[in-house]
Chain A
């Protein structure tokens, strides 16, 4: 009777066990369980009651397949009270076996040999890939000079930036409340440390004004830099007025031009800075003092040779001292560079050749 039943069932479920394992593979690969498989699960549950009777008759069956089914059947019995927990238990068992199958000594459905082969293959594959990448990058660096960028057209024309800079281009402060402007002063002081006269005199040379400071010779040679002393900034140097005019409602703002390797302003025509009200009443700013008084970047600070060789290069600055600005109202200011070869009207980039900020000084 029993034999008969078995043989009758055998052809019906040749894939029964295997396909379940297969399904599980996929469940593991893809934790989102397929609906399809869920449906199968259900189907299996409906079949189990039939099997159960058979399994109960003889519990000792050594074949692996049988074991599996028995386990299921037993689990089924146990879990009759809590069918959900049962299903999870089954799943857990299968997952567990997938992770480590003691019988076949397989983990994740692979034997140790298979795993080690995979590791070896991947090691060599990725090692050679890494070698190729290294080779590529090495060749790349061979073609790139450390002193001069291959292309500079993206960074030209020069951009402009101001100091103090506190992640905002709106200068809002109340003259009578030092807390509102103290950070500008700290920022400026910090920024100007590198321009201290003593430091400049020690590190840099005093080169003749009005002409390029050209240092031909070997690329690798260290280049000298021209002095730009803090004292050039006069009232905005923070030497006489340590608050840079913020305490009196006459703030100093420093303007610098972005460094570009090899950039030379037009000869004899240094780049000038001029500021005005961007929008609104022209008379909101009644006077601006520029330091150095020429309001220009002297030619001797050009060209720049790059940071590798031009170590102590100090960017020239122009300080704008807003001595008489309308108070208690936001004044948009636009400072532009002027000179040949300078572009200051790029629509998309509001920092090329110009800078726009607002002053809102409260008293």
Chain B
């Protein structure tokens, strides 16, 4: 099976080559779309793959290798040689994805969004000053200051945004450093440990079980070495390695070990043939960084919003510029109006607010184990409509666990929850006693020492997945397994190998009255059954007849059908007369019986789903998110897990299921009847993009099994063609192109590779699917709250804009100054709008469909119109009333203000008459104008409080949502009164007794 997967894998890896051949061959445009989707990167792919094909070191003999790399397998490289090579080829590390220079990033922040508009404003200010200066050298510096303030605003927001971005990338930098890698290398005939980074081509390295392979190596000598290539292939099955050349493809031959894969057991010596980015994994990583990063939905939304606001600002600005010019205003004045309109329209503080809001949510999510790398990804998760999830580790616990037992003709269910706390199956039978003994004894796995305090399920075990499962299972039920093994001393052993398909060991028993040796055996059930002539039922040996054999087969098929890995167990007490205590067992000659044994039972194992996952999948479903499983695992296992976590719901069937139920051929089934589909990588390979589209639209529950990580990319692209926002989970380096391609790539924090983490937008620190769901919730909430924030912020724009328009057309004294506007935008409004980010959800946000990328915009027509033309207008009118009140009370009634502008602003007119005939100097008017600013400002502020309160909810009443309880406002009131009274008393005594002790001490 393993080999087969590798074939699929390799075909996919050289995908484009394949496609081109088909194109040439029969012209059938089967892969047309596929080619299309690869097209932009074709050259890239080709280039990378050619390099890979060139690799032929696995075919060379050791002598040739030594010659090629100028090394010696005994003495290794000399340190001078190594230093030279290191200098020439660079360190052996994955170069982080190409980063745009910091200065470019910074400059981008400086001109993005509204910045360009504000720059224009600032420059206009300076131009206006220039014109003023050329006319009158003593003109005021107001415009210069305003220009500087605007520039400062842009620079500060730019720095802020830049800092935020830099901070989120820094997290990755620390991540890279968290994995120190050492390599045991032979140089100058000496074994030494050096940082893996310093490895060079030709180095001879030694690897032991547990090590990560520090570079691409050609294995020279191997002792029972097995590697876990999961990070490369996504296949978690351990693969044996040897020093023989077994396959033409370097990916499949057994004598190559890949950089970053793990050696599970055994030892090996190898020669480094590729380092750093030239390794297979390095090539894939650089391929991944070649995939363009998609713009996040929130970035698109914000851009959309910026466009709307900028459009409004520019069009109103230009319109009024023209109006002003045609009203015979001077160009200088018109420019100043333009500045005012731009400043009033642009919500200067909003982008910073959005960034803060997002980072607050990111922080909150980090606490829930979602580490957000790219701030904007916070929201992306909320708009996700399809999640393509890994199986291993994400949906499952990523460890084999005993799920079922079969003995005494019965299937028992074992507890597969995370802690195995309650094993409830019947343990009284004699058969169980025997079975448990076999499980315990016929097992080579051992706990690593010094873990007594660690819960059993979390202990580190040396051994393969199945044996680990059995060890933990027996440790939980029987207690100290090591002790049991010690008591039942092992005298001989045949380890598992793929030809025998069984494992056997012979033990002295711990029963002092029983001098017989116990032979225990486990292995593939059919092989075990072949070797048996009896079967144990209820602790009694019975002959193995047809009926029992049948029962065995039924049970075997049933367990196999659950996608579980089944093992058979049998034993035999060797007769004491034939095998006395002193008998020497020889495993080579097999001087002991290996047939006519007694069959005891079956035991099946599976990587069980995490207990939180079914619930999370249900939540996703009710949230309208389609969960697609993409796994490299066997379809049956994949389907079984999918069913148990609810990705395939209990009552839905696949085409195959229907066929089976109705006893008809698969082709006859009406495809519309099936809701679920299990698609293997082989099938996927033959699909045209149209077929894939059809598959994705027609089935609500899809499992992709036996897929290679490359196919993940195709699936992601297929989903994106459905206009879906796709989240992809992945851990392997090979997943990184898909992670990058996805709208939001989610890397696994524990199992994930550096490349995957680099490509991802988010890291799940606990590898748990359920964390994604909390992320989705936060994402949706933040989208809603951003809407509120923006609505709040936009409202006052009208109140800020109207004064300028009225000023130009009606010629009133300016109601509010540009600096005051900036003060609102950057001062008083920032904190309330950030506060809205903390608003709790109004309804169950997890019960509605994900937003449609194109239709449910962050800033839609309704929001803009309601904010601008309803609330905004009321606010503007309110502020104007405040303004008119101030002027009227000071003597200027509204009627006289009309068209007063020119005289009002002429600093030479110092006897301007008001409605009462009083005459005002220029400065007195100016002072009044500032009072007007204040009144207008306060007017906006007061109404913004109401605006803030109404923005808390969009549908519910504020009273449903709840405010800070008003009675708390009054708790401190007595003290406020006390303060006031106390101070009045103080001042009274100061006035009454000037120069007294009280005065000296209390007057300040």
Contacts and interface: CB of A to CB of B under 8 A. Distances in A.
B854 A256 contact: no
Contacts of A150: 888-890
Contacts of A310: 917
Contacts of B924: 154-155, 159, 349, 352
B885 interface: yes
Nearest to A125: B870
A306 B911 contact: no
Contacts of A129: 873-874, 877
B894 interface: yes
Given A36-B295, A149-B890, A349-B921, A140 B854 contact: no
B918 A348 contact: no
Interface string B860-896: 0100000001100110010001001100111101100
Interface string A145-175: 0011111101100011100010111000000
Interface of B is mostly: helix
Interface in B888-947: 888-891, 893-894, 906, 908, 910-911, 913-924, 927-928, 931
Given A8-B690, A30-B311, A306 B921 contact: no
Contact of B908 (A11, A160, A168): A168
A260 interface: yes
Contacts of A36: 295, 300, 303
A115 interface: no
Contacts of B70: none
B889 A31 contact: no
Contacts of B310: 32
B521 to A, nearest CB: 55
Interface string A113-144: 00000000010010001001100110011001
Nearest to A315: B919
A161 B690 CA distance: 86
B914 to A, nearest CB: 8
Given A15-B854, A26-B304, A310-B917, A351 B910 contact: yes
Interface string B668-703: 000000000000000000000010011001100000
Max chain A CB contacts within 10 Å: which of B893, B915, B919?
A: B919
A9 interface: yes
A160 B884 contact: no
A36 B300 CA distance: 8
Contacts of B693: 11-12
A346 B926 CA distance: 14
Contacts of A285: none
A125 to B, nearest CB: 7
Interface string A271-310: 0000000000000000000000000000000001011101
Chain A interface size range: 35 or more
Interface residues of B, number: 52
Interface in A7-36: 8-9, 11-12, 15, 19, 22-23, 25-26, 29-32, 34-36
A91 B894 CA distance: 48
A330 to B, nearest CB: 15
B890 A140 contact: no
B916 A29 contact: no
Interface string A196-229: 0000000000000000000000000000000000
B916 A149 contact: yes
A22 B877 contact: no
A246 B418 CA distance: 107
B848 interface: no
B920 A159 contact: yes
A95 interface: no
A181 interface: no
Contacts of B694: 8, 11-12
A349 B923 contact: yes
B307 interface: yes
B855 interface: yes
A351 B307 contact: no
A250 interface: no
B910 A22 contact: no
Interface in A306-363: 306-308, 310, 313, 346, 348-352, 355
B890 A133 contact: no
B501 to A, nearest CB: 47
Contacts of A260: 918-919
Contacts, number: 148
B888 A140 contact: yes
A351 B854 contact: no
Interface in A249-265: 256, 258-261
A15 B922 CA distance: 63
Contacts of B877: 129, 132-133
Nearest to A307: B917
B918 A155 contact: yes
Nearest to A349: B923
B308 interface: yes
B888 A167 contact: no
A249 B322 CA distance: 48
Contacts of B890: 149-151, 154-155
B876 to A, nearest CB: 10
Nearest to A263: B918
A94 to B, nearest CB: 16
Max chain B CB contacts within 10 Å: which of A258, A304, A348?
A: A258
A348 B919 contact: no
Nearest to B312: A30
B721 interface: yes
B189 interface: no
A19 B889 CA distance: 56
Given A32-B307, A159-B910, A12 B881 contact: no
A169 B908 contact: yes
B723 interface: yes
B918 A149 contact: yes
B918 to A, nearest CB: 5
B138 to A, nearest CB: 13
Contacts of A308: 916-917
B920 A258 contact: yes
Contacts of A15: 723, 854
B311 A31 contact: yes
A144 B889 contact: yes
B916 A12 contact: no
A36 B304 CA distance: 9
Given A26-B304, A149-B889, A161 B923 contact: no
Given A259-B919, A313-B917, A352-B923, A34 B881 contact: no
A137 B894 contact: yes
Given A30-B311, A137-B881, A152-B891, A161 B910 contact: yes
Contact of A258 (B303, B884, B915, B921): B921
Given A349-B924, A351-B910, A159 B891 contact: no
A12 B692 CA distance: 10
Given A152-B918, A155-B924, 9 more contacts: A32-B307, A36-B303, A125-B870, A140-B888, A154-B928, A306-B916, A306-B918, A307-B917, A349-B924
Q: 9 smallest A-B Cβ distances: which pairs?
A: A307-B917, A349-B923, A159-B921, A258-B919, A150-B889, A351-B921, A351-B910, A161-B911, A149-B891
Interface of A: 8-9, 11-12, 15, 19, 22-23, 25-26, 29-32, 34-36, 122, 125, 129, 132-133, 136-137, 140-141, 144, 147-152, 154-155, 159-161, 165, 167-169, 256, 258-261, 304, 306-308, 310, 313, 346, 348-352, 355
Interface of B: 295, 300, 303-304, 307-308, 310-311, 315, 690, 693-694, 697-698, 721, 723, 854-855, 861, 869-870, 873-874, 877, 881, 884-885, 888-891, 893-894, 906, 908, 910-911, 913-924, 927-928, 931
25 contacts: A8-B694, A12-B693, A12-B721, A15-B854, A19-B854, A22-B854, A29-B311, A32-B307, A34-B304, A36-B295, A132-B877, A137-B884, A140-B881, A144-B889, A150-B889, A152-B918, A154-B931, A159-B910, A167-B906, A258-B921, A260-B918, A261-B917, A304-B917, A351-B910, A351-B923
